[in-house]
Amino acid sequence: MSAIGTRKAGRFIGQSVTRKEDRRLLTGHGLYVDDVSLPGMLHAAFLRSDVARGTISRIDVDAARALHGVVAVYTWQELQGAFGEAWHTMLGEELQVPPPLAIGDVRHVGEPIALVVAESRYLAEDAIELIEVDIEAGQAVVDFNTAAADTTNIVHQAWGLTSNAMVEVPFTPLSPDLDETFTRAAHVVECTIEQNRYLCVPMEGRGIVASWTPGRDEMDIVASCQGVHETRVFFSRYLQIPESSIRVSARDVGGGFGQKMFVFREECAIVLASRMLGRPVKWVEDRRENLLAASHSRNETGRVRLAIEADHTISAITVDHVADVGAYPPCPAILDPMLLPGPYKIPRLGFSMAMVWTNTMGKGAYRGPWMFETTAREMAIDHAARTLGIDPVELRRRNLLAASDLPFTSPGGNLFKEITPLETLEHALEMLDLVAFRREQAQARAEGRLLGLGVCAYVEPTSMGVQSLASEGATVRVETSGKVMAFLGTTSHGQSIETTMAQVVADTLGVEYDDVTVVQAETQSTPYGPGTGGSRTAVIAGGAAREATLAVRDKVLAVAAHAMEAAVDDLDIDAGAVFVRGTPVKSMTMAEVAKAAYRNAHLLPPEVGSGLEATVRFRPNTFPTWSNATHLCVVEIDRATCIARVVRYIVSEDCGPMINPTVVDGQISGGVVQGIGGVLLEDFVYDDAGNPLTATFVDYLLPTTTEIPVIEIGHVVTASTTNPGGFKGMGEGGAIGAHAAVANAVGDALAHLGISVCKTPLGPNDIHRLLVEAGAD
Amino acid sequence: MPESTTYPISVQVNGTARQARVEPRRTLADFVREDCRLTGTHLGCEHGVCGACTVMLDDRAVRSCLVFAVQADGGRVTTVEGLAPDGELNPIQAAFEAEHGLQCGFCTPGFVVSATALLERNPNPTDDQIREGLSGNLCRCTGYQGILRAVHRAAETMGAKTS
């Protein structure tokens, strides 16, 4: 026994302890979906449409069926009537997952038309080659900015629709004096901000192994997903069988970033095939499938207007917003207009919005799905500063909320109490040394070099109270050995949940981190959880883990008090032992407590004989839990190649007290690099006929070690009051802030040439075009 | 379609002799993953860009998705499972653990093998050389920060041991 009587708060919380996940992953012993191999398992491949919009006039699968090793070939006809409702709890009945295979017509390139199940993936792909499909191509709707006005070419004509608008909200002023404010303002600045289409691109694509056991009538699923419980709930509805007959697990998942939050139509097809064949069926997509037919993201446009007073206070902001949701959006998450004023003291707001169907891959969630509010506002603020002839930093200083301005209710109704926008800006600028940078920049410009600083400030709504996302459950148990297990409803896909939640449990109970094991991503042993997404684990799952552990702690103390003939109030737990406060010699190890509770249960009075286990559901006391940050990006553009290179990247973030600082910084860095990629490298492009032009990693470029600088991260720590730990979520912030920071840095590098950057991507071709248009190439 | 022809191959995989009959089109990655059941080698793109499938073939790091199994006939293959056969992390793996060089872990075996090849070739690399040496591996989680720190750390640790 160690350190008795010297219980230190946060022995593990706040420490960068070694991750529990690492050893298996570093030695090649992770268990991802493609590593699952079952007796009798079959392999699947899809035939996909190479036409963006068209009518299927003929499908001939005879040759494919006849190929040796092919077990089944399905088109939509064979799957008709085999399934029920196809919706997710979080998204509701309105948004049905499209039928597993195209029925009669295709609406985007990559849409699955036929499914082959064979003895090997090689044979399945051979058979795909033998299927003949004739499609009468129609005029595809590709440009989302004009799609809503197109009354001739309708993406969902087959549904009887006459418009491409999925949702249209006319301009809505949220402040009664909005018009007057714009009329009276000293300056009105307007610009149209365009954000390109870029994608989650988890390194492991989608995949599923579905295994139906006839007789037992049970469906066993291993999926690369972000939520095993919602996958089970979904398939319970879909197969019209009880949840108890479906087991879903996901031991290791190779990234998700929002893409794997919901069940895809392909996964539905595989589950149906397994049920019909009574055999395990595996489908693991290849990269082309992932780029073509897993969800796409971003791709939004906003005309932003700012009313700015003579003293440079911003008195109103509006956006007219259009988002491309593709043909079948797995999750049509778009800009949240209520967040448009962000971390600023902007008192007035108005917006219009449209979500528009096109003949492209559907929109899905991607790390901060609502983040176009940040891109639009932050790029517009830079444009406004330049129009006014002031430093974008100064315009932000003038308008950002400081801790002393709180509480503050935004015109969108968001109440901020514990955020630090101005403080993180100043902190980040201090890390940069703004004065020295502007001096260096002036020198660079004098030499003809293009050096720029981009700033982006944002608030991040984490742990949102969106229906099923509002709560998480945890079961914590001291086992007969005295070791502790925590069963959580989460499904980690890189978030270090086995580590951070063990830290919370260990500290809350007073045991060693090494003695806590977290079980998750397995439906039959863990409480329901809606899936890991929305930056909810620290706050909500952490809250559940803490509350369940506290309940177990009470039980441990009761058993120990009885065994030690002491009063519960006199006892404490530390380093895995219960002891009488002030009398360190009188103690019991957790193993001894477990022995008293289980092996010698007959000796316990009934009121303390309830075991050493508790299950609790937790929801924060208010929603969301706000965190905030300021990003600074410095780029230098090579005049010869027009390549913008990030030379410094600085983040000052306030995500409250951190459970594991290294894990937090890892999340920030990962998100930032996705944002850098989205501006400078990544761009998913369709031609005018809806043909994808970037369906390989040779065309769709991800950042590598050679494009990324050291990311400098600082923390301003303000505890949240929404949860007992004071934690704030932060999983999406990096990706939210980086887009505008990088774009604004390119803008700053080009500003003295009279160039205003309002559009991304900003690859070398784009920058070259800007220079040519400005006559500065 | 006629039955595919198969060819006998013999490969030393992590020190163990493996004999198999494979179709000529079977990739080394599929041979390692499916025939040898060594699933630590991952497939992230199957067109030679992401580096997740990197293995050592006769002391050279190769992308096993672009090598046919028949090309490895008579060769020696080392996968991530072969880097720490006694269950202890080798200095590179330990450095990844210490520096948070992995999150989801899917790209990790490829990075560990690439870093092994890099440090064998150049035990004392500069930062630029490390970046260049790992530029054929994609990671989507870490932003490369922990990975770069890990390889620096591993180089220092291994340098200290050998000097």
Asked whether residue A113 carries a pLDDT value surpassing 50, the answer given is: yes
Confidence of residue B3 (pLDDT cuts 50, 70, 90): low
**What's the confidence (pLDDT) of residue A466?**
86
**What's the confidence (pLDDT) of residue B157?**
95
Asked whether residue B131 carries a pLDDT value surpassing 70, the answer given is: yes
Mean pLDDT of A260-264: 98
**What's the confidence (pLDDT) of residue A777?**
80
**What's the confidence (pLDDT) of residue A1?**
28
Are A173 and A347 a contacting pair, CB within 8 Å? Answer: no
Reported as a single tens digit per residue, the pLDDT across A175-224 is: 999 999 999 999 999 999 999 999 999 999 999 999 999 999 999 999 99
Mean pLDDT of A638-658: 98
DSSP assignment of A262-318, as one string? S--HHHHHHHHHHHHHTS-EEEE--HHHHHHHS-BEEEEEEEEEEEE-TTS-EEEEE
d(Cα A623, Cα A720) in Å, to the nearest integer?
11
Contacts of B103 in chain A (CB under 8 A): 255, 494-496, 666-667, 670
Contacts of B40 in chain A (CB under 8 A): 27-30
Reported as a single tens digit per residue, the pLDDT across B91-123 is: 999 999 999 999 999 999 999 999 999 999 999
Which A positions 726-755 lie with beta carbon below 8 A of chain B? 734
**What's the confidence (pLDDT) of residue B160?**
74
Asked whether residue A629 carries a pLDDT value surpassing 60, the answer given is: yes
**What's the confidence (pLDDT) of residue A576?**
96
The interaxial angle of helices B145-162 and A661-680, nearest 10 deg, is: 120
Q: Do A669 and B143 touch (CB under 8 A)?
A: yes
Q: Do A669 and B109 touch (CB under 8 A)?
A: no
Which B positions 57-96 lie with beta carbon below 8 A of chain A? 79-81, 83-84, 87, 89, 93, 96
> For testing the chain A interface, which of B145, B147, B152 should be mutated: the one with the most A CBs within 10 Å?
B145
Contacts of A25 in chain B (CB under 8 A): 102, 105, 108
Beta-ladder partners of A753: none
Which A positions 584-623 lie with beta carbon below 8 A of chain B? none
User: Could you give the percent of chain A with pLDDT greater than 90?
Assistant: 96
Contacts of B80 in chain A (CB under 8 A): 26-28
Of B44, B83, B135, the CB nearest to A706: B135
Asked whether residue A583 carries a pLDDT value surpassing 90, the answer given is: no
Confidence of residue B56 (pLDDT cuts 50, 70, 90): very high
User: E strands within A554-607?
Assistant: 571-574, 577-580, 583-589
CA distances from B48 to A45, A674, A700, B44, B52 (A): 21, 21, 14, 9, 9
3-state secondary structure of A519: strand
Is residue B108 within 8 angstroms of chain A, CB to CB? Answer: yes
Is residue A666 within 8 angstroms of chain B, CB to CB? Answer: yes
Tell me the ipTM for this assembly: 0.97
Asked whether residue B65 carries a pLDDT value surpassing 70, the answer given is: yes
d(Cα B134, Cα A565) in Å, to the nearest integer?
62
Average predicted confidence (pLDDT) for chain A = 96
The interaxial angle of helices A372-388 and A392-399, nearest 10 deg, is: 110
Confidence of residue A232 (pLDDT cuts 50, 70, 90): very high
**What's the confidence (pLDDT) of residue B162?**
60
Is residue B51 within 8 angstroms of chain A, CB to CB? Answer: no
Are A529 and A544 a contacting pair, CB within 8 Å? Answer: no
Task: Give the residue among A326, A321, A336 at the shortest CA–CA distance from A364.
Answer: A326
CA distance A707 to chain B (A): 9
Reported as a single tens digit per residue, the pLDDT across A369-417 is: 999 999 999 999 999 999 999 999 999 999 999 999 999 999 999 999 9
Mean pLDDT of A743-770: 98
Is residue A68 within 8 angstroms of chain B, CB to CB? Answer: yes
Is residue B20 within 8 angstroms of chain A, CB to CB? Answer: no
Are A555 and A561 a contacting pair, CB within 8 Å? Answer: no
Contacts of A670 in chain B (CB under 8 A): 103, 140-143
Other C-beta atoms closer than 10 Å to the C-beta of B162 total 7
User: E strands within A345-402?
Assistant: 349-357
Of A22, A287, A696, the CB nearest to B102: A22
Q: Do B47 and A287 touch (CB under 8 A)?
A: yes
**What's the confidence (pLDDT) of residue A584?**
76
In chain B, which residue's Cα lies nearest the Cα of A703? B138
Reported as a single tens digit per residue, the pLDDT across A303-362 is: 999 999 999 999 999 999 999 999 999 999 888 999 999 999 999 999 999 999 999 999
Q: Is the peptide bond before B24 cis (omega within 30 degrees of 0)?
A: no
**What's the confidence (pLDDT) of residue B161?**
64
Asked whether residue A28 carries a pLDDT value surpassing 90, the answer given is: yes
> For testing the chain A interface, which of B43, B103, B142 should be mutated: the one with the most A CBs within 10 Å?
B103
Asked whether residue A646 carries a pLDDT value surpassing 90, the answer given is: yes
**What's the confidence (pLDDT) of residue A82?**
95
> For testing the chain B interface, which of A16, A23, A25, A708 should be mutated: the one with the most B CBs within 10 Å?
A25
Are A708 and A673 a contacting pair, CB within 8 Å? Answer: yes
Is residue A230 within 8 angstroms of chain B, CB to CB? Answer: no
3-state secondary structure of A209: strand
Instruction: Name A101's Cβ contacts closer than 8 Å, sequence gap at least 6.
Output: A74, A75, A76, A79, A112, A113, A114, A115, A265, A269
- Token output for A659: 């459970």
Is residue B7 within 8 angstroms of chain A, CB to CB? Answer: no
User: Could you give the percent of chain A with pLDDT greater than 70?
Assistant: 99
Instruction: Name A703's Cβ contacts closer than 8 Å, sequence gap at least 6.
Output: A673, A676, A677, A680, A681, B144
Higher per-residue pLDDT: A2 or A424: A424
Contacts of A206 in chain B (CB under 8 A): none
- Token output for A451: 């050096």
Dihedral over alpha carbons A5, A11, A13, A14 (to 10 degrees): 130
Asked whether residue A289 carries a pLDDT value surpassing 50, the answer given is: yes
> For testing the chain B interface, which of A22, A130, A222 should be mutated: the one with the most B CBs within 10 Å?
A22
Q: How many A-B residue pairs are in contact by the CB < 8 A criterion?
A: 183
Instruction: Name B111's Cβ contacts closer than 8 Å, sequence gap at least 6.
Output: B51, B54, B96, B101, B102, B134, B137, B139, B147
Of A28, A204, A493, the CB nearest to B80: A28
CA distance B20 to chain A (A): 17
3-state secondary structure of A738: helix
Asked whether residue B2 carries a pLDDT value surpassing 50, the answer given is: no
Contacts of A34 in chain B (CB under 8 A): 33, 39, 42-43
Contacts of B102 in chain A (CB under 8 A): 22, 25-26
- The model's pTM: 0.97
Contacts of B50 in chain A (CB under 8 A): 203, 287, 697
Asked whether residue A9 carries a pLDDT value surpassing 50, the answer given is: no
Asked whether residue A7 carries a pLDDT value surpassing 50, the answer given is: no
H or E element: which one contains A590?
helix A590-594
- Token output for A4: 């008795």
CA distance B156 to chain A (A): 19
Phi first, then psi: give them for residue A193, nearest 5 degrees: -100, 130
d(Cα A479, Cα A486) in Å, to the nearest integer?
10
Q: Is the peptide bond before A407 cis (omega within 30 degrees of 0)?
A: yes
Other C-beta atoms closer than 10 Å to the C-beta of A30 total 25
Other C-beta atoms closer than 10 Å to the C-beta of B21 total 11
Is residue B14 within 8 angstroms of chain A, CB to CB? Answer: no
In chain B, which residue's Cα lies nearest the Cα of A492? B104
Would you give the distance in Å from CA A562 to the centre of its chain? 47
Are A364 and A257 a contacting pair, CB within 8 Å? Answer: no
